[in-house]
Structure 1
Amino acid sequence: MQGLQWTLILTVIGFAGGAIGGLLVALARTAPYAAIRRCAWAFIEIFRGTPLLMQLFVVYYGIALLDIPLNPWAAVAMGLTFHASAFLGEIWRGGIESLPGGQTEAAKALGIHWWPRMTSVILPQAFKVSLPATVGFLVQLLKGTSLAAIIGFTELARTGSIVSNLTYKPLLVYAIVGGIYFLLCWPLSVCGRRLEKRLAGSAR
């Protein structure tokens, strides 16, 4: 249960930090300046094109090479935030660009500048369109927290390994751990599918 607690805390921190970073990345990807768009594109490609496990290693051991003390908790939170920022940024960028061009043209015709146009007109609709994919990524992030055990952080998967070594019952312990992950992820997956069907129905 302690491992489950830390898994949930990591998921919340990673998703919350990723939501803030993802919003900035999505805005940068759709910014009117090409240099900003290219920088955001490079950030997304780096974190989407490399495994989360490698990202956690680089954050934990790379920062240590700079003589900056960093405990496993901070390293995992930072790594998950960067990872989530890239994925959520790309998801929300797709939501923004999926909206009809008439939305932006109408806002421009009314004299609404870029920032109020994004916050009042574009983003609310884009988030609604992107909601199923966002929930789907939350499921992936929850399962991805199990990789934190690699750098010594004790979450659900790591706790299962410790209990397995103590009890010599790996099949039973990992079945329980897998069952807990399933009970956490399955309702979110069902919610994502229902949201997708509901939005598809309203679009008709």
Structure 2
Amino acid sequence: MPLIRPFGINEFWIIVLAAQWTIALSAIAFAGGGIGGLLIALMRVSDAKWPRRIATGFIRVFQGTPLLMQLFLVFFGMNILGFAINPWLAATVALTLHASAFLGEIWRGCIEAVPPGQREAATALGLRYYNRMRYIVLPQASKIAVAPTVGFLVQLIKGTSLAAIIGFTELTRQGQIINNATFSPFMVFGTVAAVYFVLCWPLSVLARRMELRFSRATAR
């Protein structure tokens, strides 16, 4: 019979320190997803047909399938194909692709929220697609995008918990390991939930305040 140890301060700090891997995974996936999302958003509003179709297909695949399945496909699929991939890299790739699809669609909506007259005026001035986006559309769309982008970051942080299923030792996985040793699920997962709350709640408040501030600014 395995030895069950009590849940104490050491176990508490092990769980808290595991949050650094959740933060690191979220930050990398968000940064990579930001680059991919901007590319997808620009393809979605492109004047050319094929970029729009490719971006639409990408979004449909990653928004229409569960994140858990995407993690499985990247981790087990790459290993089956003969590419040795560890849980850290697999989680990073899957979450980056996931974030690219969602941020791309969020930012596409923000770009299209810019009044059409702005694009028409830029076109009348002879600005090409790149310059229209860089100097006219994207600076305005970025202000609209701040609140929903921060809101998505909250969802991404919580989504990293699914990486535990492929063996990546982040916050949730560390909680499972501690629970197996202490058999104190209420204390263990209560602590895990509290750490997620500390990470996500300030961002949720920030997103709501930004959205309210933008609503007031546009109402003036």
CA distances 1:25-54 after superposition (whole Å, capped 9, x unpaired): 000000111111011000001100111000
Moved over 3 A (4+): none
Q: 1:134 aligns with which of 123, 144, 149?
A: 149
- C-alpha distance in 2 between matches for 1:21 and 1:181: 26
- C-alpha distance in 2 between matches for 1:81 and 1:138: 12
Look up the match of 2:122: 107
1:156 to 2:165 alignment: no
Q: Secondary structure at the match of 2:84?
A: coil
Letter in 2 for 1:133: P
Q: 1:98 aligns with which of 113, 117, 142?
A: 113
Identity in percent: 56
1:34 to 2:52 alignment: no
Letter in 2 for 1:196: E
The CA RMSD measured in Å over matched residues stands at 0.8
Q: 1:132 Cα shift?
A: 1.1
Counting matched residue pairs gives 204
Look up the match of 1:55: 70
Of the two, which has the highest radius of gyration? 2
Look up the match of 1:175: 190
Q: 1:69 Cα shift?
A: 1.1
Look up the match of 1:144: 159
Q: 1:127 Cα shift?
A: 1.6
Q: 1:159 Cα shift?
A: 0.3
Q: 1:4 Cα shift?
A: 0.6
Look up the match of 1:186: 201
1:72 to 2:87 alignment: yes
What stretches of structure 2 of length at least 5 have no aligned partner?
1-15
- C-alpha distance in 2 between matches for 1:124 and 1:164: 48
- C-alpha distance in 2 between matches for 1:44 and 1:127: 20
Q: Which moved more, 1:122-131 or 1:85-94?
A: 122-131
Q: 1:116 Cα shift?
A: 1.2
TM-score by length of 1: 0.98
- C-alpha distance in 2 between matches for 1:119 and 1:159: 44
What stretches of structure 1 of length at least 5 have no aligned partner?
none
Q: 1:2 Cα shift?
A: 3.4
